[in-house]
A = this chain, B = another copy of it.
Amino acid sequence: MDTRHNILTAAAVLFARNGYDKVSMRDIAGAVGIRAPALYNHFPDKEHLYLESIAHVLQGKAEALARAIAGAAPAWTRLERYVACLARIFTEDPDALRLIQREVLNGDDARLRTLTDQVFQTPFQDMLDLVQELSPGRDAHLLAISVMALVLDHIELACLRPLLPGYRPEHDDPEVLARHVCTLLRAGLVDAAPSAPR
- Which residues from chain A sit less than 8 Å from chain B, CB to CB? 18-19, 21-22, 75-76, 98, 101-102, 104-107, 109, 112-113, 116, 120-121, 124-125, 128, 131, 133-146, 148-150, 152-154, 156-157, 159-161, 163-168, 171, 177, 180-181, 183-192, 194-195, 197-198
Contact = CB atoms under 8 A, between A and B. Distances in A.
A167 B185 contact: no
A19 B141 CA distance: 29
| Chain copies in the assembled complex | 2
B134 A164 contact: no
Judged by DSSP, the binding face of A is: helix
A131 B191 CA distance: 12
A134 B195 contact: yes
A128 B165 CA distance: 8
